[in-house]
Structure 1
């Protein structure tokens, strides 16, 4: 957000100089603040106000595009003032409220008091024109609550007095105007002093106080002295009303003629119209008075009707805008819910995958520990028990004459110990896996059992993970042990081949087969295969041999 330029405070000095030097103003370019500012208060033709509106609205939009918030507020105040003078009360109110919103966004409430007071005062004046006096006083009291200088309070007191005067609450109005008059004396500003004297005199006259007429005449004399045309016409108007109220029509008519001369000496059509309206009021022709009263009534009714239409239109547009904002908010909330649900689902999925991963890793760790234990037991049985058994057999055979039956029993115990060691043996890492697997399978070949291997050496075992190779080794080992113990097979065929990224192993024998529903050994093999991401399936019937299919 940009702040006012450093030269901004001097702008008011130039404006003040302009107001007192009309000849200088005429020389200003037609696209400058110094040219359009006085036009708001003193238009010279019917296009001046619309031209001023175009200029200030253009500057306001430029400031908004440049995110120059404070200058946007500055120009918005002039736009609202022009809209008010053109009779667009509700548009003026909307512009003022938008400027207040910008002021709230700009922050710095303690340092931006003057523009806030100005906006509150303008809203109060708009409400007064609509005869919404309570709302007008509400805005004026808001201004008083934040005012910190007498200059700020002076404008608010004067505006509040005007509201009380419209309500015919002259006792309250005079309290405010006496405070205004006290400030005006201290200000030593003739325009402010003459305005306060005139307003105070009007209210005093309404209350029947003798000093009322005197104060109004003093105000007129002071305004003539400084040639303040708007004030002079206002003073004449109030004096005309005073003499009419007191039945002195001839005096009122004489003042009206003086006012006509002043108004016609200026180029302001509004002042001329204002004075002519008072002159018509002095006419005794009932038709003229009836016509004026009728046209004034119709004009006021049209204005009120138009403002009501604009108000309804604005309220409708505001309602539509709120509906769009509400729908946008619902869409955002729905999007947030979808994102939240997606994130929640993602977290659940990740949690599940992490859980599965940790569980599989734990199972693999257990499997590795079991394999390591089996390997240790196998080595211990082979290196210690079997070797010690063989040494005992040798000693007994050489030193004692034992029967052949005892030696056969000892040899059988030795063979079974060696077989148990082989059953729980695991392959040694670092060696050729195909050779290790071949050695395992061919050790079950005997005179009665023929082992046929097909495709073993054609598999690239380096691409297969170690845990999968260990598991395949154990499963094939179990199949071969079961074959030797139970199947009575004479031919065993093992087919190795690639199936995509996996290795497919098919086992077949011509043994007596079995009933797959009995025992839990096969189920245990299936469970262990799942631990390494593999599968195993069995096909067998009594008398039909045994088949197994391994994918790993």
Structure 2
């Protein structure tokens, strides 16, 4: 396993087998703080090694299961760690007598192993489990498959050979395993492999126990010495157990006392190790929790600051937007008021111009025609009319509407007849009091001035000697048909103020004006407006 560079990892690894408590602390610290999943998984595997060597088999399994959570079975970079984890789970399960679980884990370890030597080692471990289950046939089958693979590795060959011979002897006590057991021992002695010699002394002591007890005792004593040298308490206890069975009666008591003392000491050491490991893991988890809480608090503070900044920005944006909108509204309202004021001035000017035209200009024109055509000029009558015209001109600026009186039909008849001359006859048809009875005074006012406009236009431009003005009531509308035999007008005629005012007036009372220019001679105009 080649972990990624990390200060805590290098420091933790430097304490392995020297100060395992410190190694355990730094690996736990790395697990709590690292963001590299593979590095976390490898660190958990190191925790397993420390716990397993201390006899904390349940704790070691927990570390390996944690390691597996950080590994991806589809990532080839994780295969070596996966294989090591499953092999470790197989070893822990073997010590806990969970043989079926151990076999399952060893199969998984072989599946992910990428190195032949490691596969052979795992297969050897799996065969040992079958031997512990007393399924010697399966165990021997595995040993036969792996025994002569990679023969150049003497230590591994000795391991497979002694296990193969010892398993065959367990299956058949008559089998002569001595040559193979001794061959394996000689290889280990030559390679100075103390752990291997410890295994060979175990097998030889058991093999000779019933046949040659003295030789079995000698191997048990050598096993005890080597187990003490390699500091393997489990193997020391196993050796003491053999010595108690094989030694003379006088020595059994000493071995028995040593066995119990070592067993009690070992149990106390394992309990202490479990508590120590649990305490270290607790502190690491607590530090991780504290860090997470601190990060959470910082994140919440940053979030609150962000919210305040956002609210401040939103308030400023709102104020800016509101100010901008208010400014636009003010400019628009100002422009609207200015436009309305200009329009009002223009309307006032137009209205004043219209009144001057209606009241003064047309009034004067009408008086001129009366003086021109009248045979007997009544000075007082003329002065009364001039005075009336003067009063009307003064009232123009005050915008006082001149409403028609109750004898409106007579007023209309007088208006029309005032334009009659020796050369121009005015005929009036249908102008009765009943016709105007329900007409609004404002409408009467507009109609009077429209008729005055028509007659002024006739007098100035038509050259007609016959004019017919016909009034009729049809379906809640009044129609006024004007006809003369003058020169008429073309479609391209440009309307002067008079006729333009007539058009504006008829629109104000929701009426219509129609010019018939298609007749052969003269002019025909129809005014039509609703009564109500």
- The answer to whether residue 121 in structure 2 is matched with residue 155 in structure 1 is yes
Using the TM superposition, give the Cα deviation of residue 117 of structure 1 relative to its aligned residue in structure 2, in angstroms. Answer: 2.0
Question: Does structure 1 conserve the Cα–Cα contact (< 8 Å) formed by 2:208 and 2:215?
Answer: yes
Corresponding residue of 2:198:
233
**Structure 2 counterpart of 1:140:** 106
Aligned length: 373
Query: 2: distance between equivalents of 1:82 and 1:362?
Result: 78
Higher relative contact order (CA 8 A, sep 6+): 2
Query: C-alpha separation between the residues in 2 aligned to 1:290 and 1:365?
Result: 109
1:255 Cα offset (Å): 3.7
**Matched ranges for 1:129-528 at <5 A:** 129-133=95-99, 136-181=102-147, 184-208=148-172, 210=175, 212-244=177-209, 246-256=210-220, 263=226, 268=230, 273=236, 277=240, 278-285=242-249, 287-288=253-254, 290-291=256-257, 294-295=260-261, 297-299=263-265, 301-302=267-268, 305-306=271-272, 309=275, 367=333, 371=337, 374-390=340-356, 395=361, 396=363, 400=368, 401=382, 402-416=385-399
Larger Rg: 2
How far did residue 240 of structure 1 move? 0.4
Q: Distance in 2 between matches of 1:248 and 1:68?
A: 58
Whether 1:118 aligns to 2:101 is: no
**CA 1:361–1:412 in structure 2 vs 1: closer, same or farther (change >3 Å)?**
same
- Alignment partners' CA distance in 2, 1:301 and 1:149: 37
TM superposition score normalised by structure 2: 0.51
In 2, the alpha carbon distance for the partners of 1:317 and 1:163 equals 37
Assess if the C-alpha contact under 8 Å between 2:237 and 2:263 holds in 1: no
Cα distance, 1:192 vs. partner? 1.1
TM-score by length of 1: 0.50
For the residue of structure 2 that corresponds to 1:111, the secondary structure is helix
How large is the RMSD of aligned CA atoms in angstroms? Answer: 5.6
Unaligned stretches of 5+ residues in structure 1: 6-30, 41-48, 419-552
Aligned to 1:427: none
How far apart are 1:238 and its partner, in Å? Answer: 0.9
Post-superposition offset of 1:110: 0.8
Given the superposition, is the C-alpha separation of residues 315 and 80 from structure 1 closer, same or farther in structure 2, using an over 3 Å criterion? closer
Segments of 5+ residues of structure 2 without an aligned counterpart are: 6-10, 369-381, 402-532
Contact 1:61–1:72 (CA<8 Å) still a contact in 2?
A: no
Quote the offset at 1:57 in angstroms. 7.6
* Aligned-partner SS, 2:76: coil
| Aligned counterpart, 1:50 | 18
Give the distance between the partners of 1:146 and 1:343, measured in 2 at CA.
Answer: 54
CA deviation profile, 1:463-510 (whole Å, cap 9, x unmatched) = xxxxxxxxxxxxxxxxxxxxxxxxxxxxxxxxxxxxxxxxxxxxxxxx
Kept after mapping to 1: 8 A contact 2:194/2:230: no
CA contact (8 A) 2:244 2:255 kept: yes
Task: Describe the SS at the equivalent of 1:179.
Answer: helix
Of residues 323-332 and 194-203 in structure 1, the stretch that sits farther from structure 2 once superposed is 323-332
CA distance in 2, matches of 1:350, 1:132: 70
Q: SS of the counterpart of 1:185?
A: coil
The 3 A distance-change label for structure 1 pair 255 and 301 is closer
The change in CA–CA distance for 1:66 and 1:305 in structure 2 (over 3 A counts) is closer
Cα gap change, 1:258 to 1:371, in 2 (>3 Å): closer
Shift of the 73–334 alpha-carbon distance from structure 1 to 2, 3 Å rule, reads: closer
Q: Deviations over 1:285-322 (max 9, x none)?
A: 25346435544653564356446645765786688689
Cα deviations by residue, 1:51-96 (Å, 9 ceiling, x for unpaired): 5876898799899999998788778766754554355656766766
